[in-house]
Structure 1
Amino acid sequence: MINVRVFRAPDDPESCMRFYTGHLKLLEIYYGISQVTSGNADWMQHENTIVIIVEDETRTKTYGGARVQLADGLLPLPIETAIGKYDPKIYSYIKKGSAEICGMWNSKEVAGMGIGSQVLARVGVVLAAQLPIDTFHVLCAPITTRIGKRVGFAIDESLGNKGTFFYPKDDFLATAMVINDCYSLEYADPKEKLLITDLRENLVQTKLEVGPKGSYEVNYSLRIPSHAHSTPVTGNQGL
């Protein structure tokens, strides 16, 4: 059984550290990348960063994860830091009401199951409907652009060279993508939209997922906790 749950970063430092070390290890070992903006650790203290973590039932082994970070003027979104030097208009473009899904990764143990390619992207879009946002951003590698399209993202041709940049290295192409209506998801694949809707309507459930390597059960717990020390932020579907 695999657990997928969400929490605000400062609420669970131990899980944040497991997420961080797993992501960093993957980037360094398999891609030779050590400096990537979503690999920065500042998000761990950031109340407006929601962590999606994929782990075993004991919550001690982490198989992957992603983060949804809200633009709040306190911590820049990774996309701002990543592409600002190539296209400075990103700074005025990202404003309150924007969020980004970033830092998506899965361990080699679950490679081929669809955790990174299906589950995390889908969950990110599920969370977006709980947040007070108008635009949802993502910076995709070439292999993940089609995944972004499936869950409703469109290439943001207003940035860079029709949406593309060389990042994080000169031989890596990144594509900026955006959802301008997180609720209606007009560009999402119809089958994918049904799966997203089911998760949005049933934030806590156990579900059989089918990936390239067969089927597996997932325990989902996707309700974003309200702020511990301030007024809860409410979005389309509340928290």
Structure 2
Amino acid sequence: MNNLIFKIRAFKAVDNPEACEKYIEGHARILRLFGLSMITSANPGWLDDPDTYVVCVESGDGRKIYGGGRIQVASGNLLLPIETAICEKDPSIHQTIDMYAQKGTGEICGLWNSREMAANGVGSIHLGRAMVAVAGQLNLNSLFALCAPATVRNCIRVGYETARFIGDNGRLCYPKDHLLATAMVIKDLQNLPAAAPGERLLIQDLRDNPFQRKLEPGLKGRMLDVQYELDIKEQVPVYCVA
């Protein structure tokens, strides 16, 4: 039985418009499946933002995209999606992000994975792990996320905690009034003290070795041949908003 081959790679949004368009199309398809169209992280205003980074899960040959997410840095160019999403319910979110931005902050947003990706055993945990590893290269001290209930558990595994200082003890109705989202934050992105020990080791390994190939267990006894291309250090300024 042949191994399934996937590639997880990171790049600056402005450096790869073609891959960004594939990511946007895939995200839009997933949102339509769930009847959602007003997700702030789906707004493509970030395409020209030099402080947005994209992580994609692709086929081995790079022709097909199975999932992805973005890391948007609070550099002063754009509001973070979490700000736009909840500012009417919690206006203090702008002040909160401004405070965290003094030491460098950003947000993981727009994360999606296709059914095909999940069916082959590549889960959101693979993508989330890679994204936290990439964010660690960005000279950031903290990292936010606005999570649907299904993603909270994996976020906790990679080091997130509920941001109880946002909304109602960290929870708010979004993107619709009958749907609940959880605001989450990694307060120490470099050391990840809240991450599960095994996840912390895996993330650190991806930071130390951003170009690597791993055989990882998939579903039904199949192995996943995953090629990681996560090095963006040469592109990174120091993010600290004075």
Please report the TM-score for the alignment, with normalisation by the length of structure 2.
0.91
C-alpha root-mean-square deviation of aligned residues, in Å? 1.5
d(CA) in 2 for partners of 1:86, 1:127: 31
| Aligned 8 A contact 2:141 2:190 in 1 | no
Inter-CA distance 114–136: structure 2 relative to 1 (3 Å threshold): farther
Which of 86, 91, 103 lines up with 1:88 in the alignment?
91
Of residues 188-197 and 148-157 in structure 1, the stretch that sits farther from structure 2 once superposed is 188-197
The residue aligned with 1:15 is 19
Structure 2 segments unaligned to the other structure (5+ residues): none
Which of 163, 176, 201 lines up with 2:170 in the alignment?
163
d(CA) in 2 for partners of 1:112, 1:181: 33
| Aligned 8 A contact 1:104 1:116 in 2 | no
Which of 33, 41, 44 lines up with 1:41 in the alignment?
44
The residue aligned with 1:135 is 142
Of residues 104-113 and 156-165 in structure 1, the stretch that sits farther from structure 2 once superposed is 104-113
The residue aligned with 1:190 is 197
1:220 aligned to 2:224? no
Q: What are the Cα deviations for residues 35-62 of structure 1, in whole angstroms up to 9, with x where unaligned?
A: 1001101111111000001111222211
The residue aligned with 2:116 is 109
Question: Once the 2 structures are TM-superposed, how far is the Cα of residue 226 of structure 1 from its aligned partner?
Answer: 3.9
The residue aligned with 1:32 is 35
| Aligned 8 A contact 1:56 1:63 in 2 | yes
| Aligned 8 A contact 1:130 1:234 in 2 | no
The residue aligned with 2:131 is 124
Question: Once the 2 structures are TM-superposed, how far is the Cα of residue 68 of structure 1 from its aligned partner?
Answer: 0.5
1:151 aligned to 2:158? yes
Q: Which has the higher contact order (CA 8 A, sep 6+)?
A: 2
Please report the TM-score for the alignment, with normalisation by the length of structure 1.
0.92
- Identity, % of aligned pairs? 45
